[in-house]
Structure 1
Amino acid sequence: MKDHLDLSTYKQLAEKLQPFTESELILHSFIVNHFEELSYYGIIDLAQKVQISKATIGRYLNKLGYTGYAAFKNALKRDLIAHTMIAPIDANKAKTANQSTDTKTEAQRYISNVSQLIEQFNYDLNMVDLEKLAKIVADKSRTIYVVGPASSHALAIHFSTLLKYSRSDVILLPLDKGELPKALLGVSDKDVLIAFSYYRFNPVVLSITKYFNSKNAHVTVVTNTHSNPYSIYSDIQYVLPSDVDSIFHSRTIGFLFVELLLFLVQNASKDDDNFEELEELFKFFGTFSSLEFK
């Protein structure tokens, strides 16, 4: 039994078990395709996702050399700890110790890194999933719920604000547990949750994704790491590149993703949108003009 289990080691162990039974092949494929998020799965979650029994999972793990699911999950967690993102405070200390004084060089390096993120995003983007999501979000029979904690809140605000130009039923969820239940009244299986969460994971957002999943609503998660607890409850997950060799991970691709999705939603909505009505409301309240206050 390996105490520290990464994907390469798992594949080596699994290779020795072939040929697989039909159930083992399904389980093996799921483990390979979702390896970085497995440490967040309980055995019941895994059994439901793969559609096989807990007993079958247990027998397979025994063949791999693990005494049970707990031992397997513990080995996964050890690998997760070894690859945890560096916290900003540690990144700041490292940056301070090796900081360049040439501002122009540093600025150009940073911009170049962001350009590489855009290229990577373009290369990795699943257009089929994106088209599907745009059609779901454009469907006005659904209510769109949006949430984002901490620095991801800016992405959630940007998305929910501009989406209201295309449709009306858009709800930006609060993270206040006293207000949240009222905002979730009436959630149905036709509704959609878009959850933004970069770097650190919020337990309230995790509960929200779990709640929407329990209602059989559609859940899309936008994050910057494959290893996250939300994926268990999501239908679609977008893992966006963010590493620019800086103290903070870049949200640039997050905003690019939001604006690309909004663009596709507007195309899917045709001319049926709220632009004229919103402009009339802005004029009525003098929202953006100081002349109204004279």
Structure 2
Amino acid sequence: MKDHLDLTTYKQLAEKLQPYTESEAALNSFIINHFEELSYYGIIDLAQKARVSKATIGRYLNKLGFTGYAAFKSALKKELITHTMVSPIEANKSKQTNQVSDIKSEAQRYIGNVSQLIEQFSKDLNMENLESLAKMIMDKERTIYVVGPASSYALAIHFSTLLKYSRSNVVLLPLDKGDLPKALLGVSDKDVLIAFSYYRFNPDVLNITKLFNLKNAHVTVVTNTHSNPYSIYSDVQYVLPSDVDSIFHSRTIGFLFVELLLFLVQRESNGDDNFEELEELFKFFGTFSSLEFK
């Protein structure tokens, strides 16, 4: 049995088990496609997602050399620890030893790194999934719920604010446990949750994704790492590149994703939007004019 199990090692072990039964083939395919998420799955989650029985999982893992699912997850977690993102405090300590002598060169290097992220995002983006999400968002029989903890709140509020130009029934969820249950009253299987969560994972957001999953509502997660606990409950994930060799991971692609999605939503609206009504309300309240106060 392997103490640390990475994807390459798993594939080597699994290769020796061929030929697979139909259930084993399905399980193997799911494990390969979702390997970085597996440490967050319980055996019931894995069985449901891979559409196999718990008994099949047990037999398959025994063939791989693991005494059970707990041993398999332990090996996954040990491997995950070695690939955990560096926290800002650790990154800051390591940067303190490197004196920046040429600000212009460093700035150009950083901008170049962001440009590479944009290229990677463009190359990897599944446009069919994004178009499907845009159409779902413009279905006005649905309520669109948006959540984002900590630094991801900026993405959530930017998206939810501008989305209201295209449609009503947009709810920016609070993370105050006193207010959250009231904001979630009436969630149905028609509704959509879009959860933004970068780097560190929030237990309240995890519970929100779980609730929407239990309601059979659609869950889209926007994050920057495949290794995250939300995948168990999500229908679609967008894992956005963010590493720019800096203390903080870049949210640039997150905002690009938001604005691209808003562009596609507006394209789907065909003029059925809230621009005129909002403009009238802005005028009524003098929202963007100082003339009312003179």
Structure 2 length normalisation: TM-score? 0.99
Match runs of 1:128-207 below 5 Å: 128-207=128-207
Q: State the 1:50 CA deviation.
A: 1.2
Runs of 4+ in 1 over 2 A off after TM superposition: none
Instruction: Please list the CA deviations of residues 182-220 of structure 1 after superposition, one character each: whole Å capped at 9, or x if unmatched.
Output: 000000000000000000000000000000000000000
Partner of 2:233: 233
Distance in 2 (CA, whole Å) between partners of 1:74 and 1:232 is 18
* TM-score using structure 1 length: 0.99
* CA deviation profile, 1:209-232 (whole Å, cap 9, x unmatched): 000000000000000000000011
Cα RMSD of the aligned pairs, angstroms, is: 0.5
1:138, distance to aligned residue in structure 2 (A): 1.0
Tell me, in whole angstroms, the C-alpha distance in 1 between the residues paired with 2:98 and 2:9: 35
The amino acid across from 1:12 in the alignment is: Q
Amino acid at match of 1:35: F
Q: How does 1:8-23 map to 2 (within 5 A)?
A: 8-23=8-23
Aligned pairs (5 A) from 1:1-294? 1-294=1-294
The unaligned stretches of length 5 or more in structure 2 are: none
CA distance in 1, matches of 2:109, 2:91: 17
- Give aligned-pair identity as a percent: 84
Give the match's secondary structure for 1:101: coil
Distance 1:94 1:138 in 2: 46
- Match of 1:176, SS state, is coil
Aligned amino acid, residue 154 of structure 2: A
Looking at structure 2, the residues matched to 262 and 59 of structure 1 have their Cα atoms a distance apart, in angstroms, of: 47
Moved more, 98-107 or 31-40: 98-107
Could you list the per-position Cα deviations for residues 16-59 of structure 1 after superposition, in whole angstroms to 9, with x for gaps in the alignment? 00000000000000000000000000000011111111011000
Take 2:39 and 2:136, find their aligned partners in 1: how far apart are those partners? 30
The separation in 1 between residues aligned to 2:150 and 2:22, in whole angstroms, is 44
State the alpha-carbon separation in 2 of the partners of residues 98 and 14 from structure 1.
44
Report the CA distance between 1:99 and its aligned residue.
Answer: 2.8
Give the Å deviation of 1:149: 0.1
Q: How far apart are 1:280 and its partner, in Å?
A: 0.5
SS in 1 for 2:193: strand
Tell me how far apart the structure 2 counterparts of residues 60 and 49 of structure 1 sit (CA, whole Å). Answer: 16
Give how far 1:293 is off.
1.3
CA shift digits 1:49-80 (9 cap, x unpaired): 11111011000000000000000000000011
Distance 1:42 1:117 in 2: 33
CA separation in 2, counterparts of 1:168 and 1:293?
A: 30
Query: Residue type of the partner of 1:292?
Result: E
Unmatched runs of 5 consecutive residues or more in structure 1: none
**AA matched with 1:242:** S
Alignment: residue pair count: 294
Deviations 1:96-121 (A, max 9, x none): 11132211001000000000000000
Partner deviation per Cα, 1:137-172 (whole Å, 9 max, x = no partner): 111110000000000000000000000000001000
Partners of 1:34 and 1:195 in 2: CA distance: 19
- Please give the secondary structure, in 2, of the residue aligned with 1:97: coil
Instruction: Kindly state the Cα deviation for residue 179 of structure 1 after the two structures are TM-superposed.
Output: 0.3
Distance 2:114 2:157 in 1: 22
1:248-283 CA deviation, whole Å, 9 max, x = no partner? 000000000000000000001110000000010001
Residue identity matched to 2:60: Y
C-alpha distance in 1, partners of 2:57/2:21? Answer: 12
After TM superposition, the structure 1 stretch with the greater mean CA deviation from structure 2, 29-38 or 94-103, is 94-103
